Amino acid sequence: MNGPKNEELYGKTLGIVGCGSIGLAVAERAKAFGMRIVAVNRTHRVPPAFIDRWLPLGALDQELSEFDYIVVAAALAPQTEKLIGGRQFALMKRSAVLVNVGRGAVIDEDALYEALKTRRVDGQENPLVITEVNKLYEVTRYVSTTNHMWSGFNLLANLKFWDGLPADVQEVVQRNVKKYVAMQRAYTDNLNRELKDKLAARGLIFNTADVATFRTKLGEGFYQRWKKAFGQTAWSLLEREVGKLG
């Protein structure tokens, strides 16, 4: 952020670029705060009730000036590489906040630097390592942290194939996954702490997001739906890390 952000989300317009499972999950959460949701996607589908408008990707530029917040959740493809560049930043509100939860290459990082420098946009979201590597600390001052991380470690397996593996092979896989996921999480956590200290020494001002009120706003119904979708085992692992949800 170039300045402290303290405003109600109620009544603000959120543009979501890329409405797969992640984009839709963001939209559902944002709707709980009374935001107006506009989805921009490469393919058309019947939108769920919490989407106010569903637009094709080609309509993005003409809609950007309406968005108070922009969440980019698009997959990386020839049509989406550097989708958000200098032209798009120029079309945004000067108070707009950009959040990228998709692939990094969807955002033109040089254009992002320039947009922050010239105050074309008010803020952006990225891991601290992106702020460091792309020298975004030169053009921004305030950082709000949520203290969550993407583990970066994914294990995908065909259930039928997995069930056909001998028990001793399954045990070897599970043991190593547990070991190396823990190592990677520890590495990432330590890196973030080091980067926070380093960036603070450069003059950035940090604050921590209030997740408790956010959870309260979502309500028990939201968490119960996702608990059912994830299953008891995955949900228990999540709550072990973040505390009771719902």
Contact present, 141 and 1 (Cβ < 8 Å): yes
Compute the average pLDDT of residues 82-109. 89
Q: Give the rounded percent of residues in the chain with a pLDDT score beyond 90.
A: 43
All domains of the chain in start order, with CATH: 13-242 (3.40.50.720)
Q: What percent of the chain has pLDDT over 70?
A: 94
Q: Is 214 exposed, middle or buried (0-12, 13-18, 19+ CB in 10 A)?
A: middle
What span, in angstroms and rounded, lies between the C-alpha atoms of 11 and 178?
Answer: 43
Model confidence pLDDT, tens digit, residues 117-153: 998 888 888 888 889 999 999 999 999 888 776 655 5
For residue 234, name the pLDDT band (cuts at 50, 70, 90). confident
Say if residue 164 is exposed, middle or buried (CB neighbours under 10 Å; 0-12, 13-18, 19+).
exposed
For 46-75, the pLDDT digits (tens) are 889 999 999 999 999 999 999 999 999 998
pLDDT for the residue 132: 93
* Predicted local distance difference test score (pLDDT) of residue 149: 65
Asked if the model's pLDDT at residue 3 lies above 70, the reply is: no
Which residues, 6+ apart, have CB-to-CB distance to 121 below 8 Å? 89, 92, 93, 94, 96, 97, 98, 115
How are strands ordered across the β-sheet holding 36-41? Answer: 53-56, 36-41, 13-17, 69-72, 97-100, 123-125
pLDDT score of 36 more than 90: yes
Mean pLDDT for the stretch of residues 28-36: 92
68 vs 224, higher pLDDT? 68
Rounded to the nearest integer, the mean pLDDT of the chain is 87
Residue 1 has pLDDT above 70, yes or no: no
91 three-state secondary structure: helix
Band (201; pLDDT cuts 50, 70, 90): very high
Rounded Cα gap, residues 6 and 29, in angstroms: 19
pLDDT at site 226: 85
Residue 208: predicted pLDDT: 86
Q: How confident is the model at residue 222 (pLDDT cuts 50, 70, 90)?
A: confident
* φ and ψ at residue 70, rounded to 5 degrees: -130, 120
Could you tell me the pTM of the whole model?
Answer: 0.74
In the predicted model, what is the mean pLDDT of residues 228-235? 86
- Please compute the mean of the pLDDT values over residues 193-218 and round it to a whole number: 89
